Amino acid sequence: MVFVDVRDFTSLSERLPPGEIVARLNRFYKVAADVVFDLDGTFDKAVGDQVMAFFGAPFRPEDHAQRAVTAALWIIKTLEDMAEDEEFLRVGGGVGTGETYMGNVAEGEVRDFTVIGDIVNTAARLQSLAGPGEVMIMEDTYKWLTEEYSGAVQSSVEIRGKSEPVAVRVINVRDRE
C-alpha cells in the first residue's frame, strides 16, 4: 500500500484561488499516476489532496514492496524537483505491506473497486505522520527492501486505533541526494 498526501493543504487552499489549487492537484495526480503505472502498480484513487495506490495485485512481482517504496519516493522527489515557488505542493508518504480484501465494495448504483484491511489503514496513518519529503515504511515492509534503502532511520510510532506502537523506518528524499 502506498499513500501520498499534501502537507498543509488547508492553509494553502486558504491562500490560493481554487483554480490554482486544482491545477496543482492535477499535476500531483498526474505525477503519482505516471509513477505508479511505470512501476506496474494500481492507482486506486485520488481523494482530495491524497493518492492511494497498491502493488502486488493483480500482478504479483516478487519485489512489490520495493516498487511501493520506490513509487512513494519518486512521487515526492518529482514534485520537489518541479517546485516553482514556496507554495508548491509538499507531500509525505506511508507504505506498508500485508493482506487485504481486494474487490468491489458498496452495492447498487454506487460501487468502488478498492482494497480494504488493517494494512490499508496503517499505511494511511503512517502517511499522515510523515513530514514533507518523508516516507514512513512499516518495519515488516522494510525487511523486503534492497540495500539501496539501508540508511533509513528506525523509529516507533503510536497510531490512533492500534493497540501497540508500530515499528517504522523513515526515509527523507533529501537525504538520498
Pairing of strands 42-47, 91-95: unpaired
Comparing 118 with 85, which gets the higher pLDDT? Answer: 118
Taking only the tens place, the pLDDT of each residue in 121-132 is: 999 999 999 999
pLDDT of res. 77: 93
Whether the predicted model's global pTM rises above the 0.85 cut: yes
Taking only the tens place, the pLDDT of each residue in 57-104 is: 877 778 999 999 999 999 999 998 887 655 567 899 999 999 999 999
Q: How far is CA 173 from the centre of its chain?
A: 13
Q: Does residue 164 have a pLDDT over 80?
A: yes
Q: Which fold has domain 2-176?
A: Alpha-Beta Plaits (3.30.70)
Q: What are the residue boundaries of the structural domains of the chain, listed by start?
A: 2-176
Pairwise CA distance, residues 41 & 1, whole Å: 10
